[in-house]
Amino acid sequence: MFRNNIYKYLGLAMICAAYSACKVPEFAQRNENKNVPVAFSNAQDSTNTGKVQWRQFFTDPNLVSLIDTALKNNQELNVTLQEIEIAKNEIKARKGELLPSVGYKVGAGLEKVGRYTSSGAGDASTDITPGREVPDVLPDYAFGLQANWEADIWHKLRNSKKAAVSRYLSTVEGRNFVITNLVAEVANSYYELLAYDNQLAIVKQTIALQSNALELMKIQKQATRVTELAVRKFEAEVLNSKSLEFDIEQNITESENQINFLLGRYSQAIQRDKTSFTDLVPPRVQVGLPSQLLANRPDIKQAEYDLAAARLDVKVAKAQFYPSLGISATIGYQAFNPSYLLRTPESLAYSLAGDLAGPLINRNAIKAAYLTANAKQLQAVFNYEKTILNGYIEVANQLSNISNLQKSYDLKSKQVSALTQSIDISNDLFKSARADYFEVLMTQRDALQSKLELIETKKQQLNAVVNIYHALGGGWN
């Protein structure tokens, strides 16, 4: 009676332990926020420039050729392509875990058991063949097949495979995001190079103009109309402009090398049309609706796939609390003498076993893995929300930037026109002694600065259009 009560208590304890083994710690959940503003402005046009293929968006044949080369040779993009292959192989590995594993085994050995053991005592009283005792040292030869399979009761393996698929899709979107970045970076570097070319041409024109003014000052000094101070001032201005010329030439070299780096090649000349930069008209951009960013921007889609994988990882970690069912089987031949090895059925050996195993005590490692998976899921949610917010703000900023740069460019164009006319006026006034040399000097300096700023504004305009095309998710289609 006492023994029966012990068995009852032990059974009850095992049931309670099994229940506690299957109980999963509580964890707070958070759903991602996909709510975005209805429109970027009062207009709600669904036309979206981000869907335009980059070959149609960029019309400069030299720029198109550069981008095409970059997409073939860029090292960062090639690294990303290998990450896709790695993720693809991970899917194969997870898929393989769902299937039984079958292998072969060939072995040979010797065994000597103690006489005063159950096996030794049994061997001592047994004849291996009629009239021949079992030898003390017994050989053992065997070969056969063995198989193992874990029944995926809790979808642990299937969810693991789905997580690998999500990460593969994430790497594909990661490649697309690298492409959008690469296209935008090549285009921005190309426009920057054109801007430096035009600034260099303006500086050279200014140097010629300033040199003529310097010669005029020397003539005026001989006529005692100006002092040596005026000559030295104009000479210093010419030297300053020549110094600026070398600075711009260095910028041109660095910009060319930057483009060559993006194209995955060593230094060489960049083909470009240097004369038409100021005539370039930035293409008109349609931003569409903010909700379209969810489908157009690769980084948002990548974050979404990462979130899906993180949620599946939580399910996989949760399944570790539950018992797993494993099935194993072997079949082959085993004998103490090679001459008997292939005798059937005497040497035929096989086995079939199933086991149910699960965590019971000291599950801290499993709990830690589960809590870590939950924390990573929350990280993925926050990263997804941050990526959407960042995409919206990038588009809104560049949309405002394009508008303000156009207004600034119009004003600077008028400023350049006015200062260019002022150069001739100041020279005429100086010749008629109605203006001093300082006014001529400052007019030339202001005209040069305004022309350089106008080129810089034009570059910023073109860069803003490239940046909003990138922000809309354009370039990877």
pLDDT in tens, 153-210: 899 999 999 999 999 999 999 999 999 999 999 999 999 999 999 999 999 999 998 8
Structure tokens at 329: 């089987």
Place of tokens 């599946």: 312
Question: Could you tell me whether strands 101-112 and 132-133 are parallel, antiparallel, or unpaired per DSSP bridges?
Answer: unpaired
Q: What is the phi-psi region of residue 288: left when phi exceeds 0, alpha when psi lies from -120 to 50, beta otherwise?
A: left
User: Coil, helix or strand for 152?
Assistant: coil
C-alpha span between 37 and 290 (Å, rounded): 6
* Single-letter code of the amino acid located at 314: V
What pLDDT is attached to residue 15? 44
CA distance 457 to 404: 11
Instruction: Give the distance from CA 157 to its chain's centroid.
Output: 27
Distance CA 131, CA 133 (A): 7
CA torsion sign for 333, 336, 340, 341 is positive
For the chain, give percent helix, strand, coil, nearest 5: 65, 10, 25
Q: Does residue 327 have a pLDDT over 80?
A: yes
Residue 427 has pLDDT above 90, yes or no: no
Side chain identity, residue 279: D
Q: Which of 91-95, 356-360, 433-437 has the highest mean pLDDT?
A: 91-95
User: pLDDT digit string (tens) for 228-255?
Assistant: 898 898 899 999 999 999 999 999 999 9
User: What distances in angstroms separate CA 48 from CA 58, 263, 294, one per listed residue?
Assistant: 16, 28, 13
Show the tokens assigned to 300.
Answer: 């948002």
Whether pLDDT at 415 is above 60: yes
b vs e for 44-83, b when ≥16 Cβ sit within 10 Å of the residue's Cβ? eeeebbbebebeebbebeebbebbebbbeebeebeebeeb
- Which pLDDT value is given to residue 46? 76
> What pLDDT does residue 6 have?
44
Report the mean per-residue pLDDT for the chain. Answer: 87
The overall longest dimension of the chain from CA atoms, in Å, is 141
* Exposure of 289 in the CB half-sphere (CA atoms within 13 A): 11
Opening angle at CA 449, ends 447 and 450, nearest 5: 65
* Structural contact between residues 442 and 415, judged by C-beta atoms closer than 8 angstroms: no
What confidence tens digit (pLDDT) does each residue in 31-60 have?
666 677 888 775 567 788 889 999 999 999
Name the pTM for this structure.
0.84
Residue 16 has pLDDT above 50, yes or no: no
